[in-house]
A and B are shown apart, each in its own frame.
Chain A
Amino acid sequence: MLNKKSLLLPLLGFALLGCGGDDNKDEMVTPVEPPAPAPMYSFEVTVSNLTYAQPLSPIGIALHKEGNFWQLGQTASVELETLAESGDNSGLLGLDIVNTSISDIAPLGPGNSISLTITTEDMMDAKLSLVSMMVNTNDGFSGLNAIDVSALEVGSQLNFKTRAYDSGTEANTEASGSIPGPADMGEGFNALRDDVDFVAVHPGVVSNDDGLTQSVLSYAHKFDNPLMGVSITRIQ
Protein backbone atom coordinates (compact mmCIF):
# COMPACT_ATOMS: atom_id res chain seq x y z
CA MET A 1 0.00 0.00 0.00
CA LEU A 2 2.63 2.48 1.03
CA ASN A 3 4.65 1.70 -2.05
CA LYS A 4 1.77 2.33 -4.35
CA LYS A 5 1.10 5.74 -2.80
CA SER A 6 4.69 6.85 -3.13
CA LEU A 7 4.58 5.85 -6.75
CA LEU A 8 1.37 7.70 -7.45
CA LEU A 9 2.35 10.99 -5.86
CA PRO A 10 5.28 11.80 -8.17
CA LEU A 11 3.10 10.80 -11.11
CA LEU A 12 0.41 13.25 -10.02
CA GLY A 13 3.01 15.96 -9.67
CA PHE A 14 4.18 15.31 -13.20
CA ALA A 15 0.67 15.44 -14.54
CA LEU A 16 0.06 18.79 -12.88
CA LEU A 17 3.25 20.21 -14.34
CA GLY A 18 2.12 19.03 -17.71
CA CYS A 19 -1.05 21.05 -17.37
CA GLY A 20 0.78 24.32 -16.85
CA GLY A 21 1.65 24.34 -20.56
CA ASP A 22 1.83 28.14 -20.85
CA ASP A 23 5.37 28.33 -19.51
CA ASN A 24 6.61 25.35 -21.44
CA LYS A 25 8.81 26.74 -24.21
CA ASP A 26 10.30 23.33 -25.04
CA GLU A 27 9.67 22.98 -28.79
CA MET A 28 10.64 19.35 -28.72
CA VAL A 29 7.45 18.35 -26.96
CA THR A 30 4.98 16.71 -29.28
CA PRO A 31 2.36 19.38 -30.03
CA VAL A 32 -0.98 18.59 -28.47
CA GLU A 33 -4.10 19.04 -30.61
CA PRO A 34 -5.64 22.30 -29.34
CA PRO A 35 -9.15 21.77 -27.99
CA ALA A 36 -11.82 22.62 -30.57
CA PRO A 37 -13.10 26.18 -29.86
CA ALA A 38 -16.53 26.18 -28.23
CA PRO A 39 -19.14 26.81 -30.92
CA MET A 40 -20.40 30.39 -30.92
CA TYR A 41 -23.95 31.40 -31.72
CA SER A 42 -24.63 34.94 -32.88
CA PHE A 43 -27.83 36.86 -33.36
CA GLU A 44 -28.07 40.10 -35.25
CA VAL A 45 -30.88 42.20 -33.82
CA THR A 46 -32.15 45.11 -35.91
CA VAL A 47 -34.39 47.65 -34.20
CA SER A 48 -36.38 50.43 -35.88
CA ASN A 49 -37.97 53.30 -33.99
CA LEU A 50 -41.43 53.60 -35.60
CA THR A 51 -42.59 56.67 -33.65
CA TYR A 52 -42.90 60.30 -34.70
CA ALA A 53 -41.05 61.97 -31.84
CA GLN A 54 -40.25 59.48 -29.10
CA PRO A 55 -36.51 58.83 -28.90
CA LEU A 56 -35.86 55.38 -27.48
CA SER A 57 -33.24 55.04 -24.75
CA PRO A 58 -30.17 52.95 -25.69
CA ILE A 59 -31.45 49.54 -26.75
CA GLY A 60 -30.51 46.81 -24.28
CA ILE A 61 -30.53 43.16 -25.29
CA ALA A 62 -30.02 40.13 -23.06
CA LEU A 63 -29.82 36.39 -23.51
CA HIS A 64 -31.10 34.37 -20.60
CA LYS A 65 -32.56 30.95 -19.90
CA GLU A 66 -35.28 31.77 -17.44
CA GLY A 67 -37.21 34.62 -15.91
CA ASN A 68 -38.73 37.77 -17.35
CA PHE A 69 -37.78 41.44 -17.19
CA TRP A 70 -41.46 42.20 -16.67
CA GLN A 71 -44.75 40.41 -16.30
CA LEU A 72 -48.06 41.96 -17.12
CA GLY A 73 -50.07 42.71 -14.02
CA GLN A 74 -47.09 42.23 -11.73
CA THR A 75 -45.21 44.88 -9.79
CA ALA A 76 -42.16 46.23 -11.62
CA SER A 77 -38.73 45.37 -10.18
CA VAL A 78 -36.56 48.33 -9.18
CA GLU A 79 -34.40 47.49 -12.21
CA LEU A 80 -37.41 47.77 -14.53
CA GLU A 81 -38.58 50.94 -12.77
CA THR A 82 -35.12 52.44 -13.37
CA LEU A 83 -35.25 51.58 -17.07
CA ALA A 84 -38.82 52.84 -17.47
CA GLU A 85 -38.29 56.11 -15.60
CA SER A 86 -34.74 57.01 -16.68
CA GLY A 87 -33.80 54.85 -19.68
CA ASP A 88 -30.87 53.27 -17.78
CA ASN A 89 -30.84 49.58 -18.73
CA SER A 90 -27.77 48.57 -16.68
CA GLY A 91 -29.82 47.22 -13.79
CA LEU A 92 -31.88 44.89 -15.95
CA LEU A 93 -28.89 43.75 -18.01
CA GLY A 94 -26.99 43.12 -14.76
CA LEU A 95 -29.59 40.79 -13.28
CA ASP A 96 -28.41 37.31 -12.23
CA ILE A 97 -30.64 35.62 -14.80
CA VAL A 98 -28.78 37.33 -17.66
CA ASN A 99 -26.12 35.15 -19.32
CA THR A 100 -24.87 37.73 -21.78
CA SER A 101 -25.99 41.19 -22.81
CA ILE A 102 -25.27 44.13 -25.05
CA SER A 103 -26.38 47.74 -25.00
CA ASP A 104 -26.28 50.48 -27.59
CA ILE A 105 -24.42 53.58 -26.41
CA ALA A 106 -26.81 56.24 -27.74
CA PRO A 107 -30.57 56.68 -27.88
CA LEU A 108 -32.35 55.56 -31.05
CA GLY A 109 -34.11 58.49 -32.67
CA PRO A 110 -37.48 58.39 -34.43
CA GLY A 111 -37.21 56.92 -37.91
CA ASN A 112 -33.79 55.42 -37.19
CA SER A 113 -32.61 51.83 -37.06
CA ILE A 114 -29.65 50.08 -35.51
CA SER A 115 -28.24 46.58 -35.57
CA LEU A 116 -26.59 44.96 -32.58
CA THR A 117 -24.99 41.53 -32.49
CA ILE A 118 -25.18 39.36 -29.41
CA THR A 119 -23.13 36.19 -29.15
CA THR A 120 -23.29 33.21 -26.81
CA GLU A 121 -21.64 29.82 -26.42
CA ASP A 122 -24.79 28.30 -25.02
CA MET A 123 -27.93 27.96 -27.13
CA MET A 124 -29.73 25.61 -24.76
CA ASP A 125 -33.05 27.23 -23.76
CA ALA A 126 -31.77 30.61 -25.00
CA LYS A 127 -34.31 33.42 -24.61
CA LEU A 128 -33.84 36.94 -25.90
CA SER A 129 -35.20 40.02 -24.16
CA LEU A 130 -34.93 43.60 -25.38
CA VAL A 131 -35.78 46.80 -23.51
CA SER A 132 -35.93 50.53 -24.13
CA MET A 133 -37.72 53.53 -22.64
CA MET A 134 -39.77 56.01 -24.63
CA VAL A 135 -37.86 58.90 -23.12
CA ASN A 136 -40.57 61.54 -23.58
CA THR A 137 -42.87 59.71 -21.16
CA ASN A 138 -43.03 59.37 -17.39
CA ASP A 139 -42.48 55.62 -17.24
CA GLY A 140 -43.20 54.13 -20.64
CA PHE A 141 -41.13 51.33 -22.11
CA SER A 142 -41.18 48.82 -24.91
CA GLY A 143 -39.38 45.65 -25.84
CA LEU A 144 -39.41 41.92 -26.25
CA ASN A 145 -40.09 39.61 -23.34
CA ALA A 146 -38.16 36.30 -23.30
CA ILE A 147 -38.43 35.28 -26.94
CA ASP A 148 -37.30 31.68 -27.41
CA VAL A 149 -34.41 31.72 -29.91
CA SER A 150 -32.95 28.32 -28.97
CA ALA A 151 -34.25 26.62 -32.12
CA LEU A 152 -33.45 29.41 -34.57
CA GLU A 153 -31.27 28.14 -37.41
CA VAL A 154 -28.46 30.06 -39.10
CA GLY A 155 -30.00 32.46 -41.63
CA SER A 156 -33.45 32.25 -40.08
CA GLN A 157 -35.22 35.38 -38.92
CA LEU A 158 -37.93 36.25 -36.41
CA ASN A 159 -39.85 39.50 -36.83
CA PHE A 160 -41.74 41.45 -34.21
CA LYS A 161 -43.60 44.69 -33.68
CA THR A 162 -43.41 45.81 -30.06
CA ARG A 163 -46.05 47.44 -27.88
CA ALA A 164 -45.79 50.26 -25.37
CA TYR A 165 -46.00 49.32 -21.71
CA ASP A 166 -46.34 51.42 -18.59
CA SER A 167 -44.32 50.27 -15.59
CA GLY A 168 -47.02 51.63 -13.27
CA THR A 169 -44.38 53.14 -11.01
CA GLU A 170 -44.87 56.84 -11.78
CA ALA A 171 -48.13 58.68 -12.42
CA ASN A 172 -48.38 59.94 -16.00
CA THR A 173 -48.48 63.58 -14.99
CA GLU A 174 -46.43 64.68 -18.01
CA ALA A 175 -45.55 67.59 -15.71
CA SER A 176 -42.50 69.81 -16.01
CA GLY A 177 -39.51 68.18 -14.39
CA SER A 178 -40.92 64.64 -14.52
CA ILE A 179 -39.80 63.47 -17.96
CA PRO A 180 -36.11 62.75 -18.71
CA GLY A 181 -36.31 63.05 -22.52
CA PRO A 182 -35.52 66.14 -24.62
CA ALA A 183 -39.11 67.38 -24.30
CA ASP A 184 -38.45 68.18 -20.64
CA MET A 185 -34.92 67.18 -19.53
CA GLY A 186 -36.52 66.44 -16.19
CA GLU A 187 -36.02 63.80 -13.54
CA GLY A 188 -35.29 60.19 -14.33
CA PHE A 189 -35.52 57.53 -11.63
CA ASN A 190 -37.37 58.28 -8.44
CA ALA A 191 -38.01 55.51 -5.92
CA LEU A 192 -41.46 56.93 -5.08
CA ARG A 193 -44.27 54.81 -6.53
CA ASP A 194 -47.35 56.99 -7.00
CA ASP A 195 -49.17 55.01 -9.68
CA VAL A 196 -51.03 51.68 -9.91
CA ASP A 197 -47.82 49.69 -9.23
CA PHE A 198 -48.34 46.99 -11.85
CA VAL A 199 -47.21 46.69 -15.45
CA ALA A 200 -49.90 47.19 -18.12
CA VAL A 201 -50.20 48.25 -21.74
CA HIS A 202 -49.45 51.99 -21.89
CA PRO A 203 -52.55 54.21 -22.22
CA GLY A 204 -50.60 56.68 -24.41
CA VAL A 205 -49.57 60.24 -23.62
CA VAL A 206 -52.24 62.96 -23.43
CA SER A 207 -50.16 66.09 -24.22
CA ASN A 208 -50.92 69.74 -23.63
CA ASP A 209 -52.54 69.99 -27.05
CA ASP A 210 -55.02 67.26 -26.14
CA GLY A 211 -56.21 68.69 -22.87
CA LEU A 212 -53.64 68.11 -20.15
CA THR A 213 -52.86 71.67 -19.14
CA GLN A 214 -49.79 70.86 -17.06
CA SER A 215 -48.24 68.63 -19.75
CA VAL A 216 -44.85 69.57 -21.21
CA LEU A 217 -45.60 67.25 -24.13
CA SER A 218 -47.18 68.34 -27.40
CA TYR A 219 -49.24 66.54 -30.04
CA ALA A 220 -45.89 65.50 -31.55
CA HIS A 221 -45.10 63.17 -28.65
CA LYS A 222 -48.23 61.07 -29.01
CA PHE A 223 -47.70 57.49 -30.12
CA ASP A 224 -49.70 54.38 -30.83
CA ASN A 225 -48.83 50.72 -31.03
CA PRO A 226 -46.60 49.40 -32.45
CA LEU A 227 -43.50 51.20 -31.18
CA MET A 228 -40.58 49.31 -32.66
CA GLY A 229 -39.92 46.93 -35.48
CA VAL A 230 -37.46 44.23 -34.40
CA SER A 231 -35.89 41.45 -36.39
CA ILE A 232 -33.70 38.74 -34.90
CA THR A 233 -31.46 36.90 -37.37
CA ARG A 234 -29.23 34.03 -36.38
CA ILE A 235 -25.99 34.80 -38.26
CA GLN A 236 -23.69 32.16 -36.75
Chain B
Amino acid sequence: MKVSAITALGLITLGMQSAQAASLDIKITNLTQAIYYTPILIAAHSDENHLFESGMTASTELQMMAEGGNIAGLSSMLESYSADKVENPAQGLLAPAHPAQGLLAPAQSTMAMLETSEGNNMLSITAMMLPTNDGFVGLDSWKIPTEAGTYTILLNAYDAGTEANNELILEGSGAPGMLGIPAAPGMDTGMSGSSVTNEETNTMIHIHRGNLGDDDIEGGKSDLNNTVHRWLNPVAKVTVTVK
Protein backbone atom coordinates (compact mmCIF):
# COMPACT_ATOMS: atom_id res chain seq x y z
CA MET B 1 0.00 0.00 0.00
CA LYS B 2 2.73 2.41 0.98
CA VAL B 3 4.67 1.68 -2.18
CA SER B 4 1.67 2.26 -4.46
CA ALA B 5 0.86 5.51 -2.66
CA ILE B 6 4.39 6.71 -3.28
CA THR B 7 4.16 5.65 -6.93
CA ALA B 8 0.91 7.55 -7.31
CA LEU B 9 2.46 10.63 -5.75
CA GLY B 10 5.38 10.31 -8.13
CA LEU B 11 3.03 10.14 -11.10
CA ILE B 12 1.12 13.19 -9.95
CA THR B 13 4.37 15.09 -9.50
CA LEU B 14 5.48 14.04 -12.99
CA GLY B 15 2.15 15.13 -14.40
CA MET B 16 2.47 18.53 -12.81
CA GLN B 17 5.98 18.93 -14.15
CA SER B 18 4.92 18.11 -17.68
CA ALA B 19 2.28 20.83 -17.57
CA GLN B 20 4.98 23.37 -16.86
CA ALA B 21 8.06 22.17 -18.68
CA ALA B 22 8.67 19.40 -21.14
CA SER B 23 11.44 17.21 -22.37
CA LEU B 24 11.12 16.69 -26.11
CA ASP B 25 12.76 14.48 -28.71
CA ILE B 26 12.23 16.04 -32.12
CA LYS B 27 12.86 14.35 -35.44
CA ILE B 28 12.64 16.35 -38.66
CA THR B 29 12.46 14.60 -42.04
CA ASN B 30 12.92 16.37 -45.34
CA LEU B 31 10.17 14.84 -47.50
CA THR B 32 11.17 16.44 -50.79
CA GLN B 33 13.00 14.91 -53.70
CA ALA B 34 15.41 17.76 -54.45
CA ILE B 35 15.03 20.66 -52.00
CA TYR B 36 17.67 21.29 -49.32
CA TYR B 37 17.14 22.92 -45.94
CA THR B 38 19.64 25.38 -44.55
CA PRO B 39 20.39 25.21 -40.78
CA ILE B 40 17.19 24.51 -38.89
CA LEU B 41 16.00 26.55 -35.92
CA ILE B 42 13.75 24.86 -33.36
CA ALA B 43 12.19 26.90 -30.56
CA ALA B 44 9.80 26.55 -27.65
CA HIS B 45 8.32 29.89 -26.68
CA SER B 46 5.27 31.40 -25.02
CA ASP B 47 2.00 31.92 -26.86
CA GLU B 48 2.76 35.65 -27.06
CA ASN B 49 5.68 35.22 -29.44
CA HIS B 50 6.20 33.91 -32.96
CA LEU B 51 9.07 33.22 -35.34
CA PHE B 52 6.66 34.01 -38.15
CA GLU B 53 2.94 34.34 -38.75
CA SER B 54 1.09 33.61 -41.97
CA GLY B 55 -0.56 36.75 -43.31
CA MET B 56 1.83 39.06 -41.45
CA THR B 57 4.89 40.91 -42.71
CA ALA B 58 8.16 39.05 -42.19
CA SER B 59 10.51 40.46 -39.56
CA THR B 60 13.99 41.44 -40.74
CA GLU B 61 15.26 38.43 -38.81
CA LEU B 62 12.90 36.09 -40.69
CA GLN B 63 13.93 37.70 -43.98
CA MET B 64 17.61 36.94 -43.21
CA MET B 65 16.67 33.30 -42.71
CA ALA B 66 14.31 33.00 -45.70
CA GLU B 67 16.58 34.73 -48.22
CA GLY B 68 19.98 33.54 -47.03
CA GLY B 69 19.52 30.75 -44.51
CA ASN B 70 21.00 32.88 -41.70
CA ILE B 71 19.30 32.03 -38.40
CA ALA B 72 21.45 34.31 -36.20
CA GLY B 73 18.84 37.08 -36.18
CA LEU B 74 15.95 34.80 -35.26
CA SER B 75 18.12 33.16 -32.63
CA SER B 76 18.83 36.51 -30.92
CA MET B 77 15.14 37.31 -31.13
CA LEU B 78 14.41 34.06 -29.27
CA GLU B 79 16.86 35.04 -26.55
CA SER B 80 14.90 38.23 -25.96
CA TYR B 81 11.77 36.06 -25.66
CA SER B 82 13.46 33.78 -23.07
CA ALA B 83 12.68 30.94 -25.43
CA ASP B 84 14.29 27.50 -25.42
CA LYS B 85 16.00 26.66 -28.69
CA VAL B 86 18.07 24.24 -30.73
CA GLU B 87 20.11 25.63 -33.59
CA ASN B 88 21.27 23.66 -36.60
CA PRO B 89 20.80 20.08 -35.34
CA ALA B 90 21.72 18.72 -38.79
CA GLN B 91 25.11 20.49 -38.53
CA GLY B 92 24.65 22.13 -41.91
CA LEU B 93 22.22 21.49 -44.69
CA LEU B 94 19.42 19.00 -44.29
CA ALA B 95 19.59 17.29 -47.64
CA PRO B 96 16.57 15.76 -49.30
CA ALA B 97 16.37 12.08 -48.60
CA HIS B 98 19.47 11.02 -50.46
CA PRO B 99 21.79 8.34 -49.12
CA ALA B 100 24.60 9.46 -51.42
CA GLN B 101 24.78 13.04 -50.18
CA GLY B 102 26.66 12.04 -47.07
CA LEU B 103 25.38 15.09 -45.23
CA LEU B 104 23.12 13.11 -42.96
CA ALA B 105 22.54 9.67 -41.55
CA PRO B 106 20.81 7.25 -43.96
CA ALA B 107 17.37 8.02 -42.50
CA GLN B 108 17.67 11.52 -44.03
CA SER B 109 16.34 13.08 -40.90
CA THR B 110 17.81 15.07 -38.09
CA MET B 111 17.20 14.63 -34.38
CA ALA B 112 17.18 17.21 -31.64
CA MET B 113 16.45 17.25 -27.94
CA LEU B 114 14.74 20.24 -26.44
CA GLU B 115 14.12 20.94 -22.75
CA THR B 116 11.40 23.52 -22.44
CA SER B 117 10.97 25.94 -19.54
CA GLU B 118 7.77 26.81 -17.78
CA GLY B 119 5.53 28.89 -20.01
CA ASN B 120 7.34 27.98 -23.23
CA ASN B 121 4.56 25.69 -24.43
CA MET B 122 4.60 26.52 -28.17
CA LEU B 123 6.88 24.85 -30.69
CA SER B 124 8.10 26.65 -33.82
CA ILE B 125 10.54 25.60 -36.55
CA THR B 126 12.08 27.36 -39.55
CA ALA B 127 14.65 26.65 -42.25
CA MET B 128 15.22 28.14 -45.68
CA MET B 129 14.53 25.95 -48.70
CA LEU B 130 17.18 25.83 -51.43
CA PRO B 131 16.93 26.53 -54.28
CA THR B 132 14.26 29.19 -53.68
CA ASN B 133 14.36 32.98 -53.44
CA ASP B 134 12.74 33.31 -50.03
CA GLY B 135 10.99 30.02 -49.40
CA PHE B 136 11.13 28.34 -46.03
CA VAL B 137 9.72 25.33 -44.27
CA GLY B 138 7.86 26.44 -41.20
CA LEU B 139 5.96 25.50 -38.10
CA ASP B 140 4.30 28.35 -36.23
CA SER B 141 3.26 27.81 -32.61
CA TRP B 142 2.25 24.17 -32.33
CA LYS B 143 0.98 23.68 -28.82
CA ILE B 144 3.19 21.16 -27.06
CA PRO B 145 0.93 18.47 -25.57
CA THR B 146 1.14 17.93 -21.83
CA GLU B 147 0.44 14.24 -22.28
CA ALA B 148 3.46 12.03 -22.90
CA GLY B 149 3.42 10.42 -26.30
CA THR B 150 4.61 10.65 -29.89
CA TYR B 151 3.00 13.21 -32.19
CA THR B 152 3.41 13.76 -35.93
CA ILE B 153 3.19 17.15 -37.62
CA LEU B 154 3.42 17.76 -41.38
CA LEU B 155 4.93 21.08 -42.45
CA ASN B 156 4.20 23.23 -45.47
CA ALA B 157 6.42 25.50 -47.54
CA TYR B 158 6.02 29.25 -46.99
CA ASP B 159 7.13 32.30 -48.93
CA ALA B 160 8.43 35.16 -46.78
CA GLY B 161 6.99 37.69 -49.24
CA THR B 162 10.21 39.69 -49.04
CA GLU B 163 11.74 38.94 -52.44
CA ALA B 164 10.53 38.48 -56.00
CA ASN B 165 10.76 34.83 -57.06
CA ASN B 166 12.96 35.52 -60.07
CA GLU B 167 14.44 31.99 -59.84
CA LEU B 168 17.91 33.07 -60.89
CA ILE B 169 20.95 31.64 -59.13
CA LEU B 170 23.10 34.62 -58.21
CA GLU B 171 26.15 34.52 -55.99
CA GLY B 172 25.90 36.77 -52.97
CA SER B 173 22.12 37.02 -53.18
CA GLY B 174 21.67 35.48 -49.73
CA ALA B 175 21.96 38.91 -48.14
CA PRO B 176 18.58 40.43 -47.28
CA GLY B 177 17.29 42.51 -50.16
CA MET B 178 19.71 41.03 -52.72
CA LEU B 179 17.55 39.55 -55.47
CA GLY B 180 18.29 35.96 -56.42
CA ILE B 181 18.71 32.41 -55.18
CA PRO B 182 22.00 32.21 -53.28
CA ALA B 183 22.81 28.55 -53.93
CA ALA B 184 21.62 25.26 -55.35
CA PRO B 185 23.33 22.55 -53.29
CA GLY B 186 22.11 19.81 -55.63
CA MET B 187 24.24 21.33 -58.43
CA ASP B 188 21.41 20.47 -60.78
CA THR B 189 20.26 23.90 -61.97
CA GLY B 190 20.55 25.80 -65.22
CA MET B 191 21.94 29.27 -65.97
CA SER B 192 21.33 32.47 -67.91
CA GLY B 193 17.62 32.60 -67.24
CA SER B 194 15.86 35.88 -68.00
CA SER B 195 13.89 36.01 -64.68
CA VAL B 196 10.47 34.64 -63.89
CA THR B 197 9.30 37.89 -62.25
CA ASN B 198 10.74 40.98 -60.66
CA GLU B 199 7.74 41.63 -58.44
CA GLU B 200 6.43 40.26 -55.21
CA THR B 201 2.98 41.80 -54.94
CA ASN B 202 1.97 39.78 -51.88
CA THR B 203 4.44 41.03 -49.30
CA MET B 204 2.91 39.07 -46.43
CA ILE B 205 4.06 35.60 -45.41
CA HIS B 206 2.04 33.12 -47.46
CA ILE B 207 1.97 29.50 -48.57
CA HIS B 208 4.60 29.20 -51.28
CA ARG B 209 3.15 28.78 -54.75
CA GLY B 210 6.06 26.53 -55.67
CA ASN B 211 8.95 26.91 -58.04
CA LEU B 212 8.09 27.30 -61.71
CA GLY B 213 11.36 26.22 -63.34
CA ASP B 214 11.74 25.54 -67.04
CA ASP B 215 13.21 22.91 -69.36
CA ASP B 216 15.99 25.10 -70.76
CA ILE B 217 19.23 24.80 -68.78
CA GLU B 218 20.97 27.61 -70.68
CA GLY B 219 18.20 30.16 -70.89
CA GLY B 220 14.48 30.34 -70.46
CA LYS B 221 12.91 32.32 -67.65
CA SER B 222 14.24 30.29 -64.74
CA ASP B 223 17.54 28.74 -63.72
CA LEU B 224 15.58 25.97 -62.01
CA ASN B 225 14.57 22.69 -63.65
CA ASN B 226 10.83 22.20 -63.77
CA THR B 227 11.07 18.41 -63.45
CA VAL B 228 13.42 18.60 -60.45
CA HIS B 229 12.90 21.70 -58.30
CA ARG B 230 9.16 21.71 -57.82
CA TRP B 231 7.47 20.27 -54.77
CA LEU B 232 4.05 19.56 -53.32
CA ASN B 233 3.16 20.05 -49.67
CA PRO B 234 3.90 18.73 -47.16
CA VAL B 235 7.65 19.25 -47.41
CA ALA B 236 8.70 18.04 -43.99
CA LYS B 237 7.55 15.67 -41.29
CA VAL B 238 8.18 16.40 -37.65
CA THR B 239 7.85 13.72 -35.00
CA VAL B 240 7.73 15.05 -31.48
CA THR B 241 8.07 12.71 -28.53
CA VAL B 242 6.92 14.26 -25.29
CA LYS B 243 8.68 12.34 -22.51
Using CB atoms and an 8 Å cutoff, list the residues of chain A in contact with chain B.
72-75, 163-164, 166, 168, 171-174, 196, 198-204, 206, 210-214, 224-225
Residues of A within 8 A of B227 (CB): 171-174, 203, 206, 212
For A75, the chain B residues whose CB sits under 8 A away are: 99
Asked if B231 is at the interface of the complex by the 8 Å CB criterion, the answer is yes
Determine the chain B residues whose CB is within 8 A of the CB of A211 once the complex forms.
212-215, 226
Chain A nearest CB from B178 CB (Å) reads: 26
The chain B residues found within 8 Å of chain A, CB to CB, are 29, 31-34, 96-99, 106-109, 210, 212-215, 226-235, 237
User: A58 vs B99: C-alpha distance in the bound complex, in angstroms?
Assistant: 31
Pairwise interchain contact B230-A72, C-beta atoms closer than 8 A = no
Give 4 new A-B contacts, CB below 8 A, not counting A73-B106, A164-B232.
A203-B33, A204-B230, A206-B215, A211-B212
User: Most chain-A Cβ atoms within 10 A of its Cβ — which of B29, B106, B226, B235?
Assistant: B226
Query: Are A201 and B98 also in contact (CB < 8 A) when A211-B215, A212-B215 are?
Result: no
In Å, the complex CA distance between A75 and B96 comes to 13
Whether A214 and B230, one on each chain, are in contact in the complex, defined by CB atoms closer than 8 angstroms, is no
- A selection of 9 A-B contacts at a CB cut-off of 8 Å is A73-B99, A73-B109, A171-B227, A173-B227, A201-B31, A201-B235, A204-B231, A206-B226, A211-B213
Contact across chains for A198 and B99 when beta carbons are under 8 A apart: yes
CB within 8 Å for A73 and B33 given contacts A201-B235, A211-B226? no
* Cα A211 to Cα B3 with chains together (Å): 71
Shortest Cβ distance from residue B218 to the other chain A in the assembled complex, whole angstroms: 14
Choose from B210, B214, B215, B232 the contact partner of A201 (Cβ within 8 Å). B232
| Chain A minimum-CB-distance residue to B105 | A73
Give the nearest-CB partner of A224 in chain B.
B232
Q: Is the CB–CB distance between B215 and A202 below 8 Å? A: no
Query: Given A168-B33, A203-B34, A206-B226, A72 and B215 touching (CB < 8 A)?
Result: no
Min Cβ gap A104→B in Å is: 25
B contacts with A: majority SS: loop
On whether the beta carbons of A214 and B215 are closer than 8 Å, the reply is: yes
Q: Nearest CB to that of B235 among chain A residues? A: A201
Smallest CB separation, A225 vs chain B (Å): 5
Given contacts A204-B230, A211-B212, contact A166 B97 (CB under 8 A): no
A80 to B136, CA, bound (A): 31
A73-B108, A212-B226 as given contacts; A201 in contact with B99, CB under 8 Å: no
For A225, the chain B residues whose CB sits under 8 A away are: 232-234
Measured between alpha carbons, how far is A206 from B213 in the docked complex, in Å? 9
Q: How far apart are the CA atoms of A204 and B229 in the complex, in Å?
A: 10
Find the B residue at minimum CB distance from A213.
Answer: B215
Q: How many Å from the CB of A145 to the closest CB on chain B?
A: 12
Report the Cα distance A74→B234, complex, angstroms. Answer: 18
In the bound complex, CA of A162 to CA of B234 (Å): 12
Query: Contact partner of B232 among A72, A173, A203, CB < 8 A?
Result: A203
A165 CB to nearest chain B CB (Å): 9
With the chains together, A72 CA to B27 CA distance in Å? 14
Partner of A198, one of B97, B213, B214, B228: B97
Contact between A201 and B29 (Cβ–Cβ < 8 Å)?
A: no
Q: How far is the CA of A164 from the CA of B31 in the complex (A)?
A: 11
Could you say which of B97, B232, B237 contacts A202, with CB atoms under 8 Å apart?
A: B232
| Nearest CB of B to A79, in Å | 19
> What is the minimal beta-carbon distance from A196 to any residue of chain B, in angstroms?
6
The distance from the CB of B1 to the nearest CB of chain A, in whole angstroms, is 33
Question: Are B33 and A166 touching (Cβ within 8 A)?
Answer: yes
Closest to A200 in B: B33
For B96, what are the chain A residues with a Cβ–Cβ distance below 8 Å? 196, 200
Q: Please indicate the chain B residues that have their CB under 8 angstroms from the CB of A213 in the complex.
A: 215
B226, A73: Cβ atoms under 8 Å? no
Question: With contacts A201-B232, A201-B234 known, is A72 near B214, CB below 8 A?
Answer: no
